[in-house]
Amino acid sequence: MNYKRLCSLFFAALLTLSPMTASAVGAAPAPEPPEGLSAPPEVTYSPTVQDTDPIPDSSVKSALLMDAETGQILWAREPDTQREPASVTKVMTMLLVCEALDEGTLQPDQLVTASTHASEMGGSQIYLKEGEQMTVTELLKAVAVVSGNDAAVALGEAIAGTETAFVERMNQRAAQLGMEHTHFVNCTGLPAENHLTTAHDIALMSRELLRHDRIRDFTSIWMDSLREGSFTLSSTNKLLKSYDGCTGLKTGYTSQAGHCISASARREDRELIAVVLGAADSKERFATAAALLDWGFANFQSVPVAPDGPIAPIPVLHGKRPEVAVQAPSATLLLRCGDETQLTTELELLPSCSAPVTTEDTVGHFIVRVGDEVAAVVPLTPAQNVEKLDFKDTFVAFLKNLCSNRW
């Protein structure tokens, strides 16, 4: 390459990298950007089954089965009809306690002093006396195992100062979780006007609670004790003994609400949530929840999906690196059993991209189909940032080329 050719390349690079210079000399417009991606296809596949009733002999008013990992509803009966939840309310109480523990505003060994209000709670309780002290861990255990109303109020007061203020936080958190048909009046589930929720909303807060691994240490307890062994705790959730893999979660009963439960169970790498509201008796409550969980484990599966091979790097125009690697995508799909035989995958990538490039950019899509239906679309992103070439970079490269060609 001769000297004149190198000079021409250098000045062409300057014109490309400096819009002001290009405009001043009337240079040709910069090259067209690489063709963009088409809009990602809409997900159309759903494993939800509604043409089968897994609990045909159950008279419960509302019921719902949800996959805990994906939040996918697998089956439901009147999921959005408002009903009284009784002590299943305490799923939200326990969620706020777990979040306070994670944030450090509560400590597990922190002593909580029972107020007059907490000690006056009726229904299920551990008979806290005014001024009695217990740790947060002990009170959370009392809520999870025996549904202690007094323990729930004591924890709410420890977090927010008063039960009223704590209930405000419960309703705020419900709104954040998309619990559109829920309104809490207390943190216990004791009967109160306009204290209402739905099977769907209960599943949403139950799923959020299960994100906190520590809660299973409490909701999976069958028997324990408080006050140095003098007060026995026996779980209200009989599924812990009768259902393989049961991890919780919360039972409830009042004469108005009927027998209720949000039940969770894990088998291998899958966890399901079964919500039952308004059962005629405790036996029907547990039998219905078990039937829903059995049906869910038998008819659905989680399948990991990834590209068949490595993804080629994408060329980068005007970048400090000539190309950029693409993050390897993966997805876990919830499928109806048998649908895994129809899985196909497709990679859609930009032919090139222009610097600067960031790891937040979308450079393609990983598309998963079940038959003709789109089951998942995963954005593809660069594995690293690539800065744009500047004047200094171009000038240094020019000098290197000049020296290597003249001497």
Selection from 42, 34, 43 nearest residue 363 by Cα: 34
Characterize the bridge pairing of strands 270-279 and 62-67.
Answer: antiparallel
Residues noted as catalytic = 87, 90, 147
DSSP assignment string, 292-312: HHHHHHHHEEEEEE--SSPPP
Dihedral-angle region of residue 135 (phi above 0 means left; psi in -120 to 50 means alpha; beta otherwise): beta
Q: Are 34 and 350 in contact (CB under 8 A)?
A: yes
Largest Cα–Cα separation, the chain: 96
Selection from 342, 349, 347, 244 nearest residue 297 by Cα: 244
Neighbouring-strand partners of residue 365: 348, 379
Residues, the chain: 407
Cα 295 to Cα 269, 282, 304, 360, 379: the distances in Å are: 16, 20, 21, 40, 33
Kind and range of the H or E element at 98? helix 90-103
Selection from 308, 241, 260 nearest residue 87 by Cα: 260
Q: Are 76 and 288 in contact (CB under 8 A)?
A: no
Torsion of CA 137, 142, 143, 149, to 10 degrees: -120
The pair of three-digit structure tokens given for residue 290, joined into one six-digit string? 């078990």
Which amino acid, residue 290? Answer: A
Q: Which residues fall within 8 angstroms of residue 227, CB to CB, at 6 or more apart?
A: none
Q: Which residues fall within 8 angstroms of residue 306, CB to CB, at 6 or more apart?
A: 328, 329, 330, 331
Q: Is 249 helix (H, G, I), strand (E, B) or coil?
A: strand
Neighbouring-strand partners of residue 21: none
